[in-house]
Amino acid sequence: MPLKEGDSVVIWVDPKRVFLVKIEKGKKFGSDKGTLDLSTLIGKEYGSTVSLSTGVQAYLLRPTPLDAYNGLRRPSQVLYPKDISYMIYVSGIKEGDTVVEAGTGSGFLTISLAYTVGGKGRVITYDIREDMQETARRNLSFMGLLDRVTFKLKDIRQGIDERDVDAVFLDMPDPWNTIQYVHDILKPSGSVVIFVPTVNQIEKTVLKISEFDFVDVHAEELIVREYQVKENATRPKNIGVVHTGFIIRARKSIKGS
Ligand X SMILES: C[S@@+](CC[C@H](N)C(=O)[O-])C[C@H]1O[C@@H](n2cnc3c(N)ncnc32)[C@H](O)[C@@H]1O
Residues that bind ligand X (CB under 6 A): 76-79, 102-109, 126-129, 132, 155-157, 171-173
Q: Please report how close the Cβ of residue 84 comes to ligand X at its closest, in angstroms.
A: 7
Q: Please report how close the Cβ of residue 158 comes to ligand X at its closest, in angstroms.
A: 8
* Separation between Cα atoms, residue 148 and residue 108, nearest integer Å: 14
171 annotated ligand binder: yes
Nearest residue (CB) to ligand X, 11 versus 149: 149
Nearest residue (CB) to ligand X, 63 versus 107: 107
The residues, any chain, with a CB within 8 Å of residue 180's CB and separated by 6 or more, are 212
- The amino acid occupying position 183 is H
- The residue number whose beta carbon is nearest to ligand X equals 103
CB-based burial, 122-135: b 16+ in 10 Å, e otherwise: bbbbbbbeeebbeb
Q: Please report how close the Cβ of residue 154 comes to ligand X at its closest, in angstroms.
A: 7
Q: Please report how close the Cβ of residue 151 comes to ligand X at its closest, in angstroms.
A: 11
Closest CA to 68 of 134, 135, 130: 135
Instruction: Give the three-class secondary structure for 144.
Output: coil
67 annotated ligand binder: no
127 annotated ligand binder: yes
* Separation between Cα atoms, residue 96 and residue 113, nearest integer Å: 11
Q: Please report how close the Cβ of residue 104 comes to ligand X at its closest, in angstroms.
A: 6
* Separation between Cα atoms, residue 189 and residue 166, nearest integer Å: 8
Nearest residue (CB) to ligand X, 96 versus 173: 173
Nearest residue (CB) to ligand X, 7 versus 127: 127
Residue 242 contacts residue 197 (beta carbons within 8 Å): no
Numbered residues of the known binding site: 106-109, 127, 155, 171
- Binding-site annotation, residues for S-adenosyl-L-methionine: 106-109, 127, 155, 171
